[in-house]
Each structure stands twice: as C-alpha cells, then as structure tokens.
Amino acid sequence: MKKTSKTDIIHIAKLANLTIAEVESVKLQKQFKETLREVDKLKKLNTMTVAGTYHVTGVKNVLRGDIIDKERVLSQDAALSNANRVFNGYFVVPAIFDEK
C-alpha cells in the first residue's frame, strides 16, 4: 500500500478546490488510509474467474424521448428561489478566472 503523505492530501484538496486547515489534513490523512485499507482487502480476493458485474439487480440503461415534461419544469422564479445572488434571472457564482 502506497503511503498517503500530507502533501498528497494538500494536493488532492487543491484539485477539489477545498481549503483545509492543518489539523484537518492530519485527520484526512488518517481517513484516506482507512479507505485505502479497504481497497487493499479486495486485492486479496482472486476474481479472475468472476464475470464483471455492473449492479446486483441487473439494471439496464433506460432511455427516453427528448420530450419536455411540463409537469416537471420549474419556472425561472422557482429555480432561482434558493439562490443567494441572482442577476437578470441568472445564478451569480464566483468567477473562475482571474481578470488579469
């Protein structure tokens, strides 16, 4: 099992756009280790002869026609009703790129 370093945690947090405190990174390092330990358990099993399974109930992809379901469509006001900031009927979210 590859060891997860604190640098890994900080790197992953950066990729996920999460700000984490020093104490949190220690906690997350431990939790990451726990998750990877579970993955390692599965490595102990020989699955060479087992067919791949997507889901235990055998669900299949379901497609539908590209038809608008008016019952389900939210009005613009309803769609924006939980938003903090709106402008001209749009959600306002923080900018992704710097302006310079």
Partner 1 sequence: MKNKLDIKQVYDLYKNKEVSCYEVTKSCIDWIAKVNPFLDAFTTINAKALDEAKKKDKQQVKNTALWGIPIVIKDNFLTKGFRTTASSRVLDDYIPQYNATVVNRLLGAGAIILGKTNMDAWAHGSSTETSDYGVTKNPWDLTRIPGGSSGGSAAATISDMCITSIGSETAGSVRGPAAWCGCVGLKPTYGRVSRYGVIAMGSSLDCPGPITKTVYDSAYILEILAGRDPYDATTSDNLPTKYTSFLGKEIKGMKIAIARQYLLPEMKSEVKDFIIKAGKVLEDLGANVEYADTLNPEYAVADYTVIQRSEDWELLHFRKVTRMNTIKKPRK
Residues that bind partner 1 (CB under 8 A): 16, 35, 38-39, 41-42, 45, 55-57, 59, 61-62, 64, 69, 72, 74, 78-79, 81-85, 91-94
CB of 39 to partner 1, least distance (A): 6
Residue 6 Cβ, how far from partner 1 at the closest point, in Å?
Answer: 20
| Nearest to partner 1 of 54, 100 (CB atom) | 54
Smaller CB separation from partner 1, 26 or 92: 92
Number of H helices, E strands in the chain: 3, 2
If phi > 0 it is left, if psi is from -120 to 50 it is alpha, else beta; for residue 7 that is alpha
CB of 73 to partner 1, least distance (A): 10
Provide the minimum distance between the beta carbon of 90 and partner 1 in the complex, in angstroms, as a whole number.
10
In the block, tokens 């992704």 appear at 96
Count the residues in the chain. Answer: 100
Nearest CA to 1 among 48, 38, 46, 47?
A: 38
Contact 6, 26 (CB under 8 A): yes
